C-alpha cells in the first residue's frame, strides 16, 4: 500500500513539531492488519464484506462514511481498507480543500479503484462538496466554466474510486453528501477488555513489560479511546525507564496518571473543569453551550467533539433542550476530587 498525503506546504513551529512528534509516535502503534485491529466488530465485518465483494466484482469498493469521536480508529481503518484492497490511499483533510480546483485535481489524479480518504469531511467548503456529488455517483466531474450567459458546464470522466469520509460530527454533514455514502459506520467507545488487549499489544511493540493489573488500570483510565490508552502507555513507559523498572506495576501507572492529572475514573483536568464550571458558575446548570465555552475560553467544536461525548456517555453530563446540566454522579465526583 502506498500512501499519498495531499498536504499543503507546512510551517513548523514548536507546537506543530510537537503534534508532528505525536503523529510519528502514533504511526508506530497503528494496527498493521485486521488481527491487530481490536473491537468495532460490526464495522470490521461490514468493511470485510464490502471489500471482498468489490474484489470479486473487480470494481471500486462502495463509498463509506466513518463517524465517531476522535481517536477511535477511523484513520487506522482507512489504512487497513486500502491495504486489503491493494490500492493507493490518498489522504487529505476537509479544511485543506479550499477551492473546487483542489478537489478536482485530486480526483483526476486517482488510479482506478484507489481509496480517497477525506478526514474532517464536515469541514470541507460547500462548493467543493458539490463537486463530490457527481464524482461519487457517476464518476464524473461537472465543472462550471465562465460566468453569466456564457457559462457552460464541462463534464470530465474520472476513474472509479472509493471515498472514505471521516467525521467527528456526522450531524453537520449535508444531506446530499451523507446520502451518497453507501455505508454509514459509527464508531463507539471501546470497552475495558478491548483497551486492555490494545495496551498489551502495544506494550510489546514498545518493548515494555506490564503487570496484568497495570494493563487493566491503563485501560480503565483511557476514556474508552485507544489513542488515549497509547498516550498513557507511552508516559508510563517514560516513567518506568527513568525509575529503572524492569516490570511496570499498577503503582507506576497510578503515579504516571497523577503526573498527567488524570483521576481514577479517567477524567482529565479539562473534563473536571467543565463539570466544575457548570457547578460553580451556573449552579449545576442548565447552561447554554455558548455561555459555557465562553467561560471556559474554549472553542465550541473542541468541547462538543472531544470532551462532551465521553462525559455524556458516562452520565456525568446531561444534555437538555435548555442546555447542559451536571448529574448527581458528577456532583459526587467533584465532591470527592475537591
Ligand atoms: N481498533 C483499534 N485497535 C488497535 N489500536 C487502535 C484501534 N483504533 C485506534 N487504535 C490506536 O489509536 C490510535 C488513534 O487512532 P486513529 O488515528 O485511527 O483515530 P481516528 O478515529 O482517526 O482519530 P481522529 O478523529 O482524531 O482523526 C492509532 O494510532 C492506533 O494506535
Ligand atoms: Mg484520524
pLDDT tens digits, one per residue of 210-269 = 998 999 999 999 999 999 999 999 999 999 999 999 999 999 999 999 999 999 899 999
Q: Is the CB of 38 under 6 A from ligand 1?
A: yes
User: Closest ligand 1 atom to the C-alpha of 190?
Assistant: 1
CA of 40, closest atom in ligand 1: 1
Domain containing residue 313: CATH number:
1.10.10.10
| 157 & 295 share domain | no
CB of 76 within 6 A of ligand 1: the answer is: yes
Range of the domain at 287: 269-337
Tell me, yes or no, whether 177 and 293 share the same domain: no
Mean pLDDT value across the chain: 91
Cβ contact 293:299 at 8 Å? yes
Least confident of 59-68, 141-150, 275-284, 320-329: 141-150
Q: Are residues 174 and 121 in the same domain?
A: yes
The pLDDT of 189-211, averaged and rounded, is 95
Task: Report the atom number in ligand 1 closest to the C-alpha of 30.
Answer: 31
Q: Which of 112, 106, 45 is nearest to 85 (CA)?
A: 112
The last residue of a domain, from among 202, 229, 259 = 259
Residue 15 CA, ligand 2 centroid: distance in Å: 19
Atom 31, ligand 1: residue with shortest CA distance: 30
Report the CATH number that the domain containing residue 120 is assigned in CATH: 3.40.50.300
Is the pLDDT confidence value at 8 over 70?
no
pLDDT level of residue 270 (50, 70, 90 thresholds): very high
Q: Is the CB of 71 under 6 A from ligand 1?
A: yes
Ligand 1 pocket, mutate which of 34, 68, 72 (most atoms under 8 A from CB): 72
Q: How far is the CA of 312 from the centre of ligand 1 (A)?
A: 21
**Domain membership flag for residue 207:** yes
Regarding the beta carbon of 226 and ligand 1, being less than 6 Å apart is answered yes
One domain for residues 84 and 177: yes
In a domain? residue 264 = no
Asked whether residue 279 falls in the same domain as residue 249, the answer is no
Instruction: Give pLDDT tens digits for 34-85.
Output: 999 999 999 999 999 999 999 999 999 999 999 999 999 999 999 999 999 9
Q: Please indicate whether residue 81, judged by its CB atom, sits closer than 6 Å to ligand 1.
A: no
Atom 13 of ligand 1 has which residue's CA nearest to it?
Answer: 227
User: How many separate domains does the chain show?
Assistant: 3
User: 9 pLDDT exceeds 50?
Assistant: no
Record the pTM: 0.89
Distance 234 CA to ligand 2 centre (A): 19
Would residue 10 count as lying in a domain?
yes
Q: Does residue 209 form part of some domain?
A: yes
Ligand with minimal distance to 68 CA = 1
- 86 and 182 belong to one structural domain: yes
CB contact at 8 A, 80 and 48: no
**Residue 159 shares a structural domain with residue 24:** yes
pLDDT of residue 221: 96
Does the pLDDT of residue 20 top 70, yes or no?
no
Q: Give the residue among 125, 148, 31 at the shortest CA–CA distance from 78.
A: 31
Ligand 1 pocket test, pick from 73, 82, 92, 169 with the greatest ligand atom count within 8 Å of Cβ, gives 73
* Percentage of residues of the chain with pLDDT beyond 70: 93
Q: Is 94 in the pocket of ligand 1 (CB under 6 A)?
A: no
Residue 167 sits in the same domain as residue 201? no
All 3 cell numbers of residue 37?
Answer: 485491529
pLDDT of residue 336: 59
Active site residues: 74-75, 119, 168, 227
**Judgement on whether residues 182 and 196 belong to the same structural domain of the protein:** no
- Considering the domain architecture, whether residues 10 and 55 belong to the same structural domain is answered as yes
Atom of ligand 1 nearest to the CA of 76: 18
Residue 324 CB-half CA count within 13 A: 26
Would you say residue 23 has pLDDT above 80?
A: no
pLDDT (tens digit per residue) in 138-183:
999 988 888 888 888 889 999 999 999 999 988 889 999 999 999 9
Amino acid at each position: 500500500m502506498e500512501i499519498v498525503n495531499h498536504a499543503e506546504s507546512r510551517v513548523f513551529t514548536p507546537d506543530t513539531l510537537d503534534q508532528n512528534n505525536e503523529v510519528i509516535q502514533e504511526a508506530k502503534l497503528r494496527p498493521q492488519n485486521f488481527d491487530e485491529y481490536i473491537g468495532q466488530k460490526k464495522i470490521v465485518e461490514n468493511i470485510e464484506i464490502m471489500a471482498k465483494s468489490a474484489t470479486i466484482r473487480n470494481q471500486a469498493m462502495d463509498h463509506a462514511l466513518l463517524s465517531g469521536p476522535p481517536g477511535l480508529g477511523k484513520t487506522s481503518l482507512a489504512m487497513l481498507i486500502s491495504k486489503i484492497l491493494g490500492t493507493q490511499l490518498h489522504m487529505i483533510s476537509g479544511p485543506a480543500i479550499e477551492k473546487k480546483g483542489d478537489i478536482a485535481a485530486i480526483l483526476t489524479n486517482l488510479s482506478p479503484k484507489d481509496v480517497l480518504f477525506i478526514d474532517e469531511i464536515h469541514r470541507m467548503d460547500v462548493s467543493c462538496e458539490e463537486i463530490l456529488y457527481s464524482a461519487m455517483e457517476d464518476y464524473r466531474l461537472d465543472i462550471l466554466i465562465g460566468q453569466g450567459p456564457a457559462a457552460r458546464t464541462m463534464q470530465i470522466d474520472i476513474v472509479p474510486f472509493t471515498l472514505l469520509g471521516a467525521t467527528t460530527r456526522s450531524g453537520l454533514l449535508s444531506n446530499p453528501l451523507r446520502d451518497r455514502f453507501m455505508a454509514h459506520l459509527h464508531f463507539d467507545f471501546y470497552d475495558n477488555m478491548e483497551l486492555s488487549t490494545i495496551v498489551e499489544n502495544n506494550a510489546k511493540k514498545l518493548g515494555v513489560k506490564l503487570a496484568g493489573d497495570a494493563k487493566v488500570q491503563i485501560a480503565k483510565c483511557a476514556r474508552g479511546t485507544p489513542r488515549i490508552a497509547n498516550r498513557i502507555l507511552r508516559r508510563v513507559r517514560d516513567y518506568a525507564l527513568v525509575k529503572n523498572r524492569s516490570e511496570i506495576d499498577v503503582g507506576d501507572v497510578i503515579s504516571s496518571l497523577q503526573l498527567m492529572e488524570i483521576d481514577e475514573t479517567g477524567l482529565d483536568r479539562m473534563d473536571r473543569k467543565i463539570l466544575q464550571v457548570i457547578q460553580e458558575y451556573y449552579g449545576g446548570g442548565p447552561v447554554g453551550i455558548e455561555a459555557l465555552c465562553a467561560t471556559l475560553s474554549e472553542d465550541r467544536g473542541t468541547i462538543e467533539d472531544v470532551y462532551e461525548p465521553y462525559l455524556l456517555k458516562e452520565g456525568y453530563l446531561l444534555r437538555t433542550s435548555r442546555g447542559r446540566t451536571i448529574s448527581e454522579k458528577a456532583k459526587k465526583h467533584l465532591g470527592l476530587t475537591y
